[in-house]
Structure 1
C-alpha cells in the first residue's frame, strides 16, 4: 500500500499545480474591477488581461510543447510550472498595466504547457488500468481550482487587494513545484521526432475527430456558460434571483464529474464513453430552458448534469489522444492541441451567442443552439465509432 501511495503522490502534486492553474484561468475576470481602478484603465482594456492569458494558453502552449526535446520531459514539466508560478508573482508585483499584460500572457503559456505535460506524465507514472483515474485526478484538481479556489481568492482580494489573489496562485504553484522536484521520478523516454513529424499528427483522422468533438463540446458547454445569466433572467421574466447559486451548482457538478469519470475511463472504451457524454450534454442543454421555466430549483438538475459531463469529457478525450499517439512520441502535443480546441471552442461559443443576442433572438435559442451543437458532436462521434468498428471487422488497421 505504501508503494502505491508513493507512486501516486506525484500525480496529486501535479493536480495541486492544476488547482493553481484553474484559479489563474478564471480569477482574472473577477479581478477586473479592482485592476481597472488600480491602473486607471477602462474596463474594456482591463478585460484584455483575460484575452492575453487565454490566447497564450491556447495558441502558445502547443508551439512550446512541440519544440520541447524528447529527453527533457521531466525538466520541461518543472520548468513550465516554475514559469507559471514566477509569472503570477511578477503579475502581482506589476506597477504598470503593460507589464501586467505581458506577464499574464507568459503565465498562460506556462499553464498550457504544464497541463499538457502533467497529463502525459501522470499516465506515464500509472499502471495501464489506472491511467484514466490519474487524468481524472488532474482534471478534478483544475475543476476544484475553478470552483473553490476562484471565489475564495476573490473574497480575500476584496479585503487584501487584487494582487493577493495572484500571490496565492503563485504560492500554490511554488508548493507544487517544490514537491515535484523531490517526488517526481524520471519519466519514461519518449520517441524523438522532428517538429515536422510531430505536426503530421494533424493528418491522423482519429486525432482530428477527437479534436473536433472537443471543439464542438467547448462551443456548446463553455459557450453556453457565458450566457447562463441572461438565459435564466429571460426565463424568470424579470423575477429577482441571483445567478450565483446556479454557477456554484454547475461548478460542483464539474468537480464531481471530473473525479467520478476516472474509474469509468479505465473500464469502458474511451470513444464509447465520449459518445454517451456528448449525448447527455446535448440532452441537458436542450432541457435548460424548459427546466428554468418550470421552476428555479428544477433547473439545477440539468445544470449540474451539464457541468459534470462538460468537465468529465476531457478525461476520456485526453486518454484516447495519448493512446493514439504514444507510439509516435507526440502524445503531449496532441493533448496540448486538445486544450487549444477547448479555448478556441469557448471563444467561438461566446462570439456566436453574443451575435444571436445582438440580433434580438430570444435567450432560450441559446440553450437550444448549444444543445444542437453538442448533438452534432455526438453524431460525429457515433460515425467515428461505426467507421472504427467496420475497419476492425474487416481486419484493417485504422492507424
Structure 2
C-alpha cells in the first residue's frame, strides 16, 4: 500500500469527511450483522451458529487483509487504493443483500472484510498525511469517530430499519453509503503521490521492530478486553444483579455514548499535548480502572453508567494516539504500520469474544469477568511502559545518538 506523500499539509479538515463517510459505513457493517443474526438465519434456513460465522469470516479477513495488502499495494496512489477498497466493500455488501444461501453469504462477508481491511488503515494514513503534523490527531480522530458513530448510532438504526424492510434492506443501506463514499473520494479527495515503495525486506522489518510490534501488542490486548467483556455484558449484568438483561440496552447506550465522545475528543487532546505516549498511558489507566469498578458499580443503580462511559470513551480513544505513535515512528511506512495496528485490534476482538466464552465455560462467574479483563488491561499497560518508551527530546537525541542507526534509535515517537 502506498505511503502518502504529505504534499498538501494545509488541506482543510472538512475535505476529509469523504473518508469519514467510508469509515462510518465500515463501522456499521462490522457490527450490525450480529444484531441481524436471528433474521438472517431464519431467512436462509440455517442455524444461528452457522450464520454467526459471517461475523467471524468478516473479522478474520479484515485482520489478515490489512498487512497483506498494505505490502502488496505499495507504490499505488492513495486515492486509487481507497477507491478500489471501497468498491470491493460496496460490491460485497450488495452481494450479501442478494445472498440466497449460506455459502454465498460467507463469501460476500469475506470480501467485505478484505475491502474494509484495506480501506481503514489507508484512510487513517491518508487523513494524517493531508492534515499535517499539527493536526494529525484531529484527522485520525475524524476517521475513528466515523467508525464509532457507525457502530454506536448506525447499528441500532440498522436493526430498527431491518424490522421494517428486512435485513436485506439494511445491507442495501450500507451499499448505498459505500457508493456515495466512493463518489466522494473520486471527486473531492486531493491526489496524493505515493512515495517509492521500499524493499520487501524493509517493509517486513516494520512488523518485527520493537516499537511497531509493541504498540500493536498493546492494541491487541485492548481488543481482547473490550470485545471480550462487551460480548458478555448482558450475562455480567444479570449475574451482578444490575436489573438483569432489562438494563443491558441502557448499559450499551452508555458505553456507546462514551465511545463517540472519546473518539471525537481524543484528537484535540493529542494535538494540544503533543505527547501521544503519555496520552496512551492515561487512557490505559482509565480503561483498567473502569473495568475493575464495574462489578461494584453494577450494584449501585445509575452509578454503573460512570464506568461504562469511561470504558467506552477510553476504549475508542486509545487507537488515535496508538496510530499517531506508529506514524511518527515509521513515517516512511505509515500505511503498513497502521495496518498492523488495525489487524491487532480485530484479531484481539476475535480472541476476546472467544476467550470470554471459554472463561465462562470453565466456571468463572460472569460478574467476575471485568476483573479478568481489568487484569489484562493492566498487563497491556506494563507492556506499554516497558517496551513502548517515550522518545528523548530531539536536542538530547542529536547530541547523544551515534551516527549509525541502532535498534534503540527506532523507538516509538510522540
Output the TM-score relative to the length of structure 2.
0.91
Query: In the alignment, what sits opposite 1:273?
Result: 279
State the Cα distance separating 1:100 from its structure 2 match.
1.5
Looking at structure 2, the residues matched to 175 and 112 of structure 1 have their Cα atoms a distance apart, in angstroms, of 19
User: Equivalents in 1 of 2:389, 2:28: separation in Å?
Assistant: 39
Does residue 1:135 correspond to 2:140, yes or no?
A: yes
CA contact (8 A) 1:9 1:183 kept: no
Q: Where does 1:1-399 land on structure 2 (aligned, <5 Å)?
A: 7-236=12-241, 241-268=246-273, 269-293=275-299, 295-327=300-332, 330-384=333-387, 388-389=391-392, 395-396=400-401, 398-399=409-410
Shift, 1:241, TM fit: 2.6
Q: Where in structure 2 are there 5+ consecutive unaligned residues?
A: 1-7, 402-407
**TM superposition shift of 1:376:** 1.2
Report if aligned partners of 2:79, 2:191 keep a CA contact under 8 Å in 1: yes
2:128–2:139 contact (8 Å) kept in structure 1: yes
The number of aligned residues is 394
Q: C-alpha distance in 1, partners of 2:385/2:226?
A: 19
Does the Cα contact within 8 Å between 1:35 and 1:46 map onto a contact in 2? yes
**Structure 2 CA distance for partners of 1:108 and 1:33, relative to 1, 3 Å:** same
Q: Secondary structure at the match of 1:266?
A: helix
Q: Is the 8 A contact 2:79 2:185 kept in 1?
A: no
CA displacement 1:124-156 (0-9 Å, x = unmatched):
111211010000011001000001111101111
Q: CA deviation at 1:315?
A: 0.3
Mapped contact 1:34–1:162 kept (Cα < 8 A)? yes
Check conservation: 1:124, 1:188, Cα contact below 8 A: no
1:114 Cα offset (Å):
0.5
* Distance in 2 (alpha carbons) for counterparts of 1:5 and 1:332: 20
Moved more, 351-360 or 54-63: 351-360
TM-score by length of 1: 0.94
- Structure 1, unpaired ranges of 5+: none
Alignment RMSD (CA, Å): 2.1
Secondary structure of 1:69's partner? Answer: coil
Conserved 8 A contact 2:210-2:387: no
**Does structure 1 conserve the Cα–Cα contact (< 8 Å) formed by 2:10 and 2:132?**
no
Question: In the TM superposition, what is the alpha-carbon distance from 1:341 to its structure 2 partner?
Answer: 0.7
Greater Cα shift, 70-79 or 204-213: 70-79
Indicate if the aligned counterparts of 1:67 and 1:195 stay in contact, CA closer than 8 A: no
Deviation track 1:347-379 (CA, whole Å, cap 9, x = no partner) reads: 222222212211222223210111111111112
Contact 2:9 2:129 in 1 (8 A): no
